[in-house]
Structure 1
Amino acid sequence: MTVTTPPPALEVQGLRKTYRRAFGRGGHEALRGMDLHVPAGSAFGLIGPNGAGKTTFIKSVLGIVRPSAGTVRVLGGSPEDPAIRARIGYLPERLHLPGTWKSPAFLATVARLKGLKADAGAHLKLLERVGLSDAVDRRIGGYSKGMRQRLGLAAALIGDPALLVLDEPTDGIDPMGRLEVRRILQEEVKKGVTLFLNSHLLAETERVCDRVAILADGRVLREGRLDELAKAGARWRVRFAPGADAAALASEGFVPAGSAREEGVYTVDAADVAVLNAALDKARSRGALLTELKREGADLEAVLVGAVGGPGVAA
């Protein structure tokens, strides 16, 4: 039995883009030999400082910008192929909507632009899914920024795309709304849709994505699974109930780590879970009661700063 492996959702090799100045005098090189591989069905996040080239990359993927050099393959084909474009759902960072229209009419137009028949029933279900069912009779010009983002997400979902490219999808959405958007995106990934997310909200990227790439100065500095990039090694943070024998724990390799207000907090180094459990068994044999256990690791912000170099990096 032959198993067919789907092509990568995105495959970029040696991608370069130079924006020429007037009369061809020099220019700005936004992408400098960028390589990237996004597996089909993954939830992939692109992060990096302002001016890193993220927007140019997304426009290259969508066929809006033509690269100066290199290759871009999207869903196994060319981003300029209308059939490929029809399988992509896109939410731009700067979403321009017709203020005098109502949301069902806008979704119907998006469907026709993608070569699909306008399905009023399906569009109403999409609006309900993104939390806009109570606003279908209102003109878009009266929508808040968060409501506009929700409408943009509904438009991106038209036609059940195989690839979702979302640029700052939760910008302007309140915390509860972000939970709803996150749930929708997770549902799409479970269905096998590939999610490509560009967001300066690193905490949102951590919650949604399983793989990330760090882009800076037009090049990919680091790429891989989020848990591997953020892994700090084999150190664990543990908390024992008050009354644990500190000297006995120290003899078993537990090092006090908490502040004066955090009684019973220690770290312990363990190469694997078997070694960790052996250390915890010894602590319990000394009368210590475990109340909390967490692997220490860097968050995405720390990973970004470590890769790019220097504090205060703006994503």
Structure 2
Amino acid sequence: MIDPTDNNLLIDGRNLTKVFKDFWGRPTVIAVHDLDITVRTGTIMGLLGPNGAGKTTLLKMALGHLYPTSGTLAVFGRSPRDVETKSRLGYLPERTAFYRTLTAEEVLRLFGDILGLPRDETARRTDQLLDMVGLQGARDRRVGGFSHGMGRRLGLAQALLNDPDLLILDEPTAGMDPIGCHEMKSLILTLARRGKTVVMSSHLLADVQDVCDTIMIMYGGTVCQTGPVSELLARKDELEIRAPRVSPKALAEAKAALAREAGVDRVHVSTPTRSLEDYFLEVMRTAHEQKQATAGARMGTGVAAYLQQDVDPKAVLEQLTHSRQAPELPDAPTVDAASIEKLTRAPERQPDKPPTARPDENVDTDYLNRLTKN
């Protein structure tokens, strides 16, 4: 069990198992099985695994939302359900849900009241967090009009409202575009530099590699591999040499020298490449600097070609309206006035006839006559 006096250990779980049961108490799913986890202060740990690997279940046990069926788990040296423990936690769920009629500022003020923060402290943190997550300009907009990425950033601000020591993020970049993913990862790295400890789950390998220094790979509720990213991804039997471009002669001599040592088949020379994300962001940055942005977004699709040239606005308007005109129809046949009157004349209403009484076959008429005589 974790030592309460050791401030470097935040999460310590031993032999954790979580079994979900049906109404009759029969086990149905073993979500986590005999799992150990240790998280130290100042690290960014990534939980990797396919859907159903047990990542969310493990996070919910660390949050105190679920009890482990067996094993021991301590967060900050205490039970995850302890009030003191919860006051030091921040949580971003996989799906963020807020009152759609509230503004971003009102959402954070509401959660500040729920957390019991003083009003002036909530106002101060609201300003700081909205600025940090890039929502300062949307603080008075209703959350119902937010995009998915804006909702995720507001969720991160809400998770940071109580200034937690440990931040738990469940799929923080799920459903976000490349720019939103880059901003979210930059925020996570910034939080780590400010002393926050982060545990995040994801099935996006590139995101975990970009921000995490420690990873845990899960499958079927168990741990397959865990350790520092640099060690797990290192190819210890290979060496990478980077150098500026040299002449073909110098390159051939260097390759021949390496081939004599390692073998011809094991020496390869190639041009280094960058990640697609870096290239995409560079293109977006260039487009933004050239003001190639639509009126509805800071960065987005390029402006139409005719808007980038000096053209006559009337000519553009005529071109647009001409393209929207309906095609000409063939001449309609002529119709005389009498035919039009006949077609448009309302039909004459027939007078209503009084209903005719009909004897009911199920009634005894003799018995009915005797009753009416008396």
TM range, smaller chain: 0.7 to 0.9
Could you say which residue in structure 1 is the equivalent of 2:225?
Answer: 222
2:198 counterpart of 1:189:
no
**More contact order relative to length (CA 8 Å, sep ≥ 6):** 1
Could you say which residue in structure 1 is the equivalent of 2:93?
Answer: 92
Could you say which residue in structure 2 is the equivalent of 1:288?
Answer: none
2:159 counterpart of 1:167:
no
Residues 234 and 143 of structure 1: CA distance in aligned 2, closer, same or farther (over 3 Å)? same
Residues 198-257 of structure 1 deviation map (CA, whole Å, 9 limit, x = unaligned): 112211111111001111111112111111111121312446732333545422436456
Alignment of 1:129-278 (within 5 A): 129-238=132-241, 241=246, 242-243=248-249, 244-245=251-252, 246-253=255-262, 255=264, 265=269
Distance, in Å, in 2 between the alignment partners of 1:202 and 1:106 is 32
Alignment of 1:32-43 (within 5 A): 32-43=33-44
Contact 1:257-1:265 within 8 A present in 2 as well: no
TM-score by length of 2: 0.65
Gaps of 5+ in 1: 259-263, 267-290, 294-315
**Higher radius of gyration, 1 or 2:** 2
Give the Å deviation of 1:167. 0.8
Contact 2:169-2:199 within 8 A present in 1 as well: yes
Give the Å deviation of 1:53. 0.7
Residues 255 and 112 of structure 1: CA distance in aligned 2, closer, same or farther (over 3 Å)? farther
Structure 2 SS opposite 1:223: strand
Distance, in Å, in 2 between the alignment partners of 1:247 and 1:66 is 62
Could you say which residue in structure 2 is the equivalent of 1:101?
Answer: 102
Distance, in Å, in 2 between the alignment partners of 1:230 and 1:169 is 23
TM-score by length of 1: 0.77
CA RMSD of aligned residues (A): 2.3
Greater strand content: 1
Structure 1 SS opposite 2:9: coil
Residues 250 and 155 of structure 1: CA distance in aligned 2, closer, same or farther (over 3 Å)? same
Gaps of 5+ in 2: 274-374
Structure 2 SS opposite 1:141: helix
Ranges of 4+ aligned residues in structure 1 off by more than 6 Å: none
Could you say which residue in structure 2 is the equivalent of 1:50?
Answer: 51
Could you say which residue in structure 1 is the equivalent of 2:71?
Answer: 70
Structure 2 SS opposite 1:233: coil
> Structure 2 counterpart of 1:84, which letter?
T
> Structure 2 counterpart of 1:251, which letter?
R
